[in-house]
Amino acid sequence: MTTTLRRLAFFTALIAIWESIYRLNGEFSFFSTRFFPSPSGAIQQLYKGFFETGILSNALFTSLQRISLGFTLALLIGVSLGILLGRSKLADETLGSLVIALQSIPSIVWLPIALIFFGQGNTAIIFIIVLGGTWAMTMNVRMGIKNVQPLLIRAALTMGYKGSELVWKVMIPASIPAALTGARLAWAFGWRALMAGELLGRGGLGRTLLDARDMFNMDLVIAIMVIISVIGLIVEYLIFAPIERKVMTRWGLAK
């Protein structure tokens, strides 16, 4: 609770300072007020977008649909590839090199190709979300599989585990902390890829932000940025952080 109060106090202070600067600038005109939004204006745009026009609620729903599907696919593909690379030396030396090469390419670079093949719809954007998250998930699962303690593997072999049973009952459970890190990175990269993709696609928060900029509605731009940030905070503190605490406690890694 103390940490939550500190965070609330910190952000409240930042907003108060920002609003004060905005009002002082409106009074003394230090610089142009046209492109300097205010917190109160952003709050008004949030209210209008969610409860009057519905622009922001529709855009948020579209973005959440896209990230949910893209993130799920990235997890499934990344876990499968990570297990393959972690278990097969041949796959690691061949396919693993390709994964490392693809990991260095920002997912947004694939957007022009995605638009050519899939058009300006959901498929193109989901495609780059998957590319944004898959490689981080793959490499973390791979490292988790490779870093399983040899003692655990020898003990499992002594108990008769072998083949797929060894993978599912020993190696995968032991690599869950690394997989959690991969999931967190996959989410971050996928969320950024989504916002970038929507700038050139159709619908969603990214496209709405671009339209707001074109209309010189900077209050709406800030409102959308607030939504993007709040979603990131919610996923981090209400989803990943509790899961991480449980995993670290279960695996004896928490202090």
Predicted confidence band at 182 (pLDDT cuts at 50, 70, 90)? very high
Residue 153 has pLDDT above 80, yes or no: no
Report d(CA 149, CA 141) in Å as an integer. Answer: 15
With left for phi above 0 and alpha for psi between -120 and 50, is residue 252 left, alpha or beta?
A: left
Give the other-Cβ count within 10 Å of 142's Cβ.
25
Domain assignment present for residue 212? The answer is: yes
Give the other-Cβ count within 10 Å of 23's Cβ.
12
Q: CATH number of the domain that 208 lies in? A: 1.10.3720.10
Domain extent, residue 187, equals: 59-216
Domain assignment present for residue 87? The answer is: yes
| 203: CB partners within 8 A, 6+ apart | 58, 59, 62
Domain assignment present for residue 248? The answer is: no
Domain assignment present for residue 203? The answer is: yes
Helix (H, G, I), strand (E, B) or coil at 148: coil
Predicted local distance difference test score (pLDDT) of residue 60:
94
Lowest-pLDDT range of 18-27, 65-74, 176-185? 18-27
Domain assignment present for residue 24? The answer is: no
∠ CA 79-157-155, rounded to 5°: 95
Residue 67 has pLDDT above 90, yes or no: yes
Residue 46 vs residues 38, 43, 111, 160: alpha-carbon distances, Å: 12, 5, 29, 60
- Residue 120 token pair: 């300006």
- Residue 212 token pair: 């707001």
Domain assignment present for residue 81? The answer is: yes
Domain assignment present for residue 134? The answer is: yes
Q: Which residue has the higher pLDDT, 248 or 137?
A: 137
Predicted local distance difference test score (pLDDT) of residue 203:
82
Domain assignment present for residue 178? The answer is: yes
Given CA atoms 160, 164, 165, 168 in this order, what sign does their dihedral have? Answer: positive
Q: What integer best gives the mean pLDDT of the chain?
A: 87
Predicted local distance difference test score (pLDDT) of residue 59:
93
Q: At what angle are helices 55-87 and 204-214 packed, to 10 degrees?
A: 130
- Residue 80 token pair: 């499968």
Residue 154 has pLDDT above 90, yes or no: no
Report d(CA 116, CA 110) in Å as an integer. Answer: 10
Predicted local distance difference test score (pLDDT) of residue 37:
83
The whole-model pTM stands at 0.87
Residue 252 has pLDDT above 70, yes or no: no
Domain count along the chain? 1
Residue 255 has pLDDT above 70, yes or no: no
pLDDT tens for residues 222-249?
999 999 999 998 999 899 989 888 888 8
Report d(CA 249, CA 209) in Å as an integer. Answer: 41
Mean pLDDT calculated for residue range 52-67 = 93
